[in-house]
Amino acid sequence: MNPLYQQMQTSVFERMSALAAQHGAVNLGQGFPDFGWPDEILDVAAKALTTGSNQYPPSRGIMPLREAVATHYHRHFGQPLTAEQVCVTSGATEALGAAILATVQAGDEVIIFTPAYDSYAPMIRRAGGTPVEIALQPPGWRIEKDVLQGAVTPRTRAILFNNPHNPAGRVFDRGELEAVASVAREHDLVVISDEVWEHVVLDGSSFTPLATLAGMAERTIKIGSAGKIFSLTGWKVGWMVAAPELANVVARAHQFLTFSTAPNLQAAVAYGLEQGDAWIQPMRDRFQRSRDRMTEGLRNAGFAVLEADATYFLCVDLSASGIGLDDEAFAITAVERAGIAVVPLSAFAERNPPRHLVRLCFGKKDETIDAGVAAMARAKEMLP
Ligand code: PMP
Ligand code: GLN
């Protein structure tokens, strides 16, 4: 048995969703919306299931989807991409795994910014590397160039960057992107840029792909996910985009992870990326309304809520809300006794994680938000 997995805990998302189901709690833990997917895309998928192929598609993805990814990014961000630069994966999680396996070797260090998505550190370790954490500090969660520069050693191979950031709920600004880019250029690093939340930006804020910065297209492996763009997290259709040679190497890692991804879902995602530009702004408006509703409800119940203008997550500061429990103890008590599942932020870092913050998913219908806020208020009343 591999001790890495023997000592590992079940993912925080799985754990909190299971507890939510067990206790009949409102589940604002694991991030998935309970509304918002476009019906048209479901119709295309259903049709593709009955009239299209149900056999192995090419490992790198069906050509219409690879072309749709390339043209989508050209249209939205002006990137001159071709289908050869795209490899379709089973969700962003697999793309991250393939990108890490393809770039990291034994002894390499990979810089990650914490709080970080939970698969980063275990996958870096499995590839033989060491994750080097840079802790972003709430409430601003800013990347400081000198701190990043100071984390680079002769062993540093890559930076694993996530923008817009889950769970901070923010888009990094131009200065922060330039900091990442200049450190990567100066030390000849690869950047695995997890941009799955690229379209979920609120309050009119805008997102810039890292690969569009000077000198970055050739060293960036960009990761995207239809799960976020179309609110279809269960489909697990994702992709990575990189310069042709880098893309070839990642595609070889992917071919021995999942080989390929359901062809009918790929066809529907291709349709969505081509035809669905008009769905994006209404999605943002809807999530923004949900965020405002949840923020107001939580503040009225006496919670300190951090600002969030990207993703569908917000963080609550427990200590500033007058709650003495740490995040994990609060999460367990809240799900068992108050009927609300949240995610403790300490699950997103290994070294000195923040223990006073919990994450809530606001990508929910009004009634789910209201039930969640009422349960949070109950939790607050019953806790020290
Ligand atoms: N990266 C980040 C930052 C995420 O938030 C998520 C999902 N919430 C993923 C990767 C995984 O995406 P997928 O479901 O497409 O595997
Ligand atoms: N990425 C999702 C989140 O942040 C969860 C993904 C998962 O459950 N693996 O909530």
**What are the b/e assignments for 209-242, b being 16+ CB within 10 Å?**
bbbbbeebbebbbbbbbbbbbbbbbebbbbbbbb
CA quadruple 55, 57, 58, 60: dihedral sign: negative
Q: Where are the alpha helices (DSSP H) in the chain?
A: 3-6, 12-23, 39-51, 63-77, 91-103, 120-126, 145-151, 174-186, 226-229, 244-255, 263-275, 277-300, 327-333, 366-382
* Mean pLDDT, rounded, for 46-61: 98
**pLDDT for 106-139, tens place per residue?**
999 999 999 999 999 999 999 999 999 999 999 9
Q: How far is the CA of 313 from the centre of ligand 1 (A)?
A: 13
Name the percent of the chain in helix, strand, coil, to the closest 5. 45, 15, 35
Pocket of ligand 2 (CB under 6 A): 11, 13, 30-31, 166
**pLDDT for 165-220, tens place per residue?**
999 999 999 999 999 999 999 999 999 999 999 999 999 999 999 999 999 999 99
* Mean pLDDT, rounded, for 315-329: 97
Statement: residue 383 has pLDDT above 90: no
Statement: residue 293 has pLDDT above 90: yes
Which band of pLDDT confidence, cut at 50, 70 and 90, is reported for residue 229?
A: very high
Pocket of ligand 1 (CB under 6 A): 31, 91-93, 117, 162, 166, 194, 196, 225, 227, 233, 236, 238
Cα(343)–Cα(184) distance, integer angstroms: 32
Q: How far is the CA of 29 from the centre of ligand 2 (A)?
A: 9
Taking alpha carbons only, the member of 116, 120, 210, 121 closest to residue 165 is 116
Q: What is the pLDDT of residue 325?
A: 96
Which band of pLDDT confidence, cut at 50, 70 and 90, is reported for residue 384?
A: low
Give the global pTM: 0.98
Are residues 267 and 64 in contact, defined by beta-carbon separation less than 8 angstroms?
Answer: yes
Q: What is the pLDDT of residue 115?
A: 98
Q: How far is the CA of 35 from the centre of ligand 2 (A)?
A: 17
**pLDDT for 339-348, tens place per residue?**
999 999 999 9
Q: What is the pLDDT of residue 322?
A: 97
* Token pair of 258 as six digits: 């999942």
Share of the chain above pLDDT 90, in %: 98
Ligand with an atom nearest the CA of residue 258:
1
Q: Please list the residues that pair with 46 across neighbouring strands.
A: none
Statement: residue 98 has pLDDT above 70: yes
Statement: residue 332 has pLDDT above 70: yes
